[in-house]
Amino acid sequence: MKTLYRKFILATLVILLISTTLAFILANLVYMTSTKQIIDQENVKIAKVIASNLEGSHEHHSSITSYLESMGNLGYQIYLLNESGEGEFFGQSFSKTDLPQEAMKVIEDKDIYHGMNDASQQLLMMGHFSNDVKNTVGVPFTINEQSYALFMRPNNKLIFSDIHMILACFFITIAVVGISGVIWFTKRLIHPITKLTEATKEITRENFNYPLPFELNDEIGELVKSFNKMQKQLQHNDQVRKSFINNVSHDFQSPLMNIQGYSELLKANDLTENERNDYLQIIDVESKRLSNLTKQLLLLTSLDQKDYPMKLIDVNISEQIKQTIRRYQWLLEDKEIEISYKLPSVTIKADAELMINVWDNLLTNAIKYNTHGGIIWIDLSEKEYSVAFTIKDTGIGMNQEALTQIFERFYRVDSARKKNGTGLGLSIVKQIIDLHGGEITVDSLVGEGTTFTIMLPYIRNT
């Protein structure tokens, strides 16, 4: 498997190779179309100056030789050819000394030989550095009525001067340092990703405390921060899951044990009628409790699905709330609870069955945890873009710790546990409100009561 580190280094080297190749191609294109001709013309000018000096100042062969040797020492490669076809080299020797046929026209036709521009058949600019007598310029000149041809090119050592060596070292240093820097930076960049991989493996082992002490102000830093948040959330979810399983097991086991225990007691032959009725009543209550718990778990499971099939219709929530109040009127009278409500007719787009669960859970909680002879206030009002529902009671209330966990599954404060609740009702309410794009908040004080407020998006009927 190729690691990200190797891929990054390979990608960098490939980019360097491609950029170098493109730069070389571009440099060759410029050289072949323009620079080569300019270099040829400049060297022709120099050759003409040398030939002119020979014609004007030197008459004897010894003086010609001396002058051309001095030019060779100055960094030029020279080949002198007379009309008899005899040639002589000055300066650094050529590696190839065979002249092409067109070079002879310098003596015969007094033409100028443009070997630097025309003779080279190489398509790359490296042909410019070829140490071949063909790769020269040639000019004619005459001394004592004898024709000569002067073929010349700068010595390659001149081209590779000290400044060129310095520049070459400069570019080589840049390349070495650049590649080394990329390797170092890649290691530094990949290190937190490697640690993230290790942390991910630890999470699969249910270790949610793997430290990632990176404080980077870049995308990797943001990734690490997000991962740390995810790690904490997964730890919380794992704790909630285990707590959920424990609570489900306990809540199922308790009524089942009661049903089983009292069923065994009913088998006794010496039971009185009153004892038999008491045992049957307990079994009935526990069966209903178990049935209610099962229904709520099934509803929660359905609501957990992201694609829960919401059946949105026009729902008159005022009528729904009034029907819920009438359904529990007997319980209100039993606890002598006074209920006051303001319910103007309001219709919204909602899932009717789910909203009934909301009113049912909130009202039964307000009754169950209210004091005997307490009060419940219900208010429904229309805002510009939402509908506000409030239910307030004068019950036992909750502390601040309970308020932060009240919507978690199976969470019940100590006083609520004695009321045989399942701890699922408010979790169901929260999920239903979230599915409708609404918001639910709660305020409470111990001994003074609790207030639930729901904001639902409102679509006016036209």
- Domains observed in the chain: 4-160 (3.30.450), 162-307 (no CATH), 310-457 (3.30.565.10)
Whether residue 450 has pLDDT greater than 90 = yes
Q: Is the pLDDT of residue 356 over 80?
A: yes
Is the pLDDT at 121 greater than 60? The verdict is: no
Sign for the CA dihedral angle at 131, 132, 136, 139 comes to positive
Parallel/antiparallel/unpaired status of strands 347-351 and 312-316: antiparallel
**In this structure, what token pair is assigned to residue 173?**
């240093």
What's the CA gap between 178 and 172, in Å, rounded? 10
User: Which has the minimum average pLDDT: 104-113, 239-248, 407-416?
Assistant: 407-416
pLDDT tens by residue, 214-257:
676 777 778 778 888 888 888 877 777 777 677 667 667 777 88
Q: Alpha-carbon distance 194 to 308, whole Å?
A: 38
pLDDT of residue 56: 77
Give the strands of the sheet with 439-445, arranged side by side: 338-342, 375-382, 386-393, 449-457, 439-445
The residue whose two tokens read 């206030």 is 377
CA distance 376 to 364: 11
Confidence class for position 413, pLDDT limits 50, 70, 90:
low
Q: What confidence score (pLDDT) does residue 301 get? A: 73
Q: Convert the pLDDT of each residue in 145-198 to its tens digit.
A: 888 899 998 887 666 655 666 767 777 888 788 778 777 877 777 777 778 888
Average pLDDT over residues 302-317: 80
Q: What's the pLDDT at 167?
A: 66
pLDDT of residue 460: 53
Whole-structure pTM value: 0.48
Nearest one of 154, 72, 56, 151 to 112, comparing CA atoms: 151
Could you tell me the CA-to-CA distances from 177 to 58, 169, 284, 350, 387 in Å, in that order?
A: 55, 12, 83, 66, 67
- DSSP E strand stretches across 34-129: 76-82, 87-90, 113-114
**Who's near 386: CB < 8 A, 6+ residues apart?**
438, 455, 456, 457, 458
- Asked if residues 262 and 277 have their Cβ atoms less than 8 Å apart, the reply is no
Q: Cα separations (Å) of 160 from 21, 77, 96, 115, 440?
A: 22, 15, 20, 21, 81
The helix (run of H) or strand (run of E) holding residue 351 is: strand 347-351
What gap in Å lies between CA 341 and CA 321, rounded to an integer?
A: 10
Tell me the percentage of the chain whose pLDDT exceeds 90.
16
Sign of CA dihedral 259, 260, 263, 265: negative
Q: What is the mean pLDDT of the chain?
A: 81
